[in-house]
Chains A and B, each alone.
Chain A
Amino acid sequence: MRILLRVKIIFRIKSVVLLLQRGVNMATMADEVLFEFLHMELVSHIYRTASKDEKDHCISKLESLGFRVGQSLIERFTKETSRFKDELDTMKFMCKEFWNAIYKKQVDNLRTNHQGVYVLQDNRFKFLTQLSNGKQYMEAAPKYLAFPCGLIRGALSNLGINCIVTADVSAMPACKFQIQIQRV
């Protein structure tokens, strides 16, 4: 009995070492893939389980999921940053830090009309890069952008900015997020 146990333990240690040797670059890859696959499944689950007349609500359901996640995320990301000067400063933070933390890159272009409309353009948006590099699968694009839209809205809402976020795709994998700030 004892001998058997020892063999087992040695085997376990060996496999752990092996996993560690192999795992260094696999682990850094795995965390991104995990989020990607989970998001894919999230979308397909919501669409699969929705009944006929619920189909229209799928987008808003995904969006509100993203909203909740964005709210919590921004709480964590802004733990150590100083207060933002103004709205534009907040947007810059979204483009750099927020985007980098989630999609491992920055937004490629930020534009504003200085009247509460901001456009964030990402030329290689993570959820679209594997789908297509043109018009194919265009009709499926909205369902993969609802969650990210909610993510932005949730993050901004927790920073005290109420807004409407919409996504717009003319050719994949480029994507524009339009943020329209609601003033009361």
Chain B
Amino acid sequence: MTVFNFYIFDRNGTCLYYAEWNRKKQSGISKEEEFKLMYGMIFSIKSFVNRISPTDMKDGFMNFKTTKYKLHFFETQSGLKFIMNTDLNVGSVKETLQLIYSSIYVEYVVKNPLCYLDQPITSELFKAKLDDFVRGLPIFPTSVS
């Protein structure tokens, strides 16, 4: 099991933070383009899922799989979007993403008066804490060939 990369988007589609760990293949476009593409797709999937669902849903879109990876999605009430790509063996990481939000984002970004909430995160402390946290996850250690 392994974690490939991780995005945080705000309500307006700005990419606040991006980190990657075991990503073997790059997208071949600039990071800004990739963020736009990612946000656009998430936005579309969300509205697609909501429209097509036969009954009312509680959580809405949570993850999708391809033959190579699984994308996990978590959105807070305030519209922050946490996206994590992992390999296929990983189960639900909803709690993990929630924990990243409540104990890392809130703690080191919201409570840091020098971090502006609508701009990409520059805090080294946040970066370090997140990196430590993800590396310590049980789903992180083994890399797939």
Which A residues have a C-beta under 8 Å from some C-beta of B?
33, 36-37, 40, 43-44, 130-134, 136-137, 140, 144
Contacts and interface: CB of A to CB of B under 8 A. Distances in A.
A174 to B, nearest CB: 14
B128 A137 contact: no
B124 A130 contact: no
B138 interface: no
Interface of B: 107-108, 111-114, 123-125, 128
A131 B128 contact: no
Nearest to B113: A40
A36 B114 contact: no
A137 B114 contact: yes
B124 A136 contact: yes
Contacts, number: 32
Nearest to B111: A130
Contacts of A134: 124-125
B133 to A, nearest CB: 14
Given A44-B113, A136-B123, A140-B114, A130 B128 contact: no
- Counting from the closest, the 4 A-B pairs by CB-CB distance are A40-B113, A130-B111, A136-B124, A130-B112
Contacts of A33: 111
A43 B114 CA distance: 11
Given A130-B107, A130-B108, A144 B113 contact: yes
8 contacts: A36-B111, A37-B111, A40-B113, A130-B111, A131-B113, A132-B123, A134-B124, A136-B123
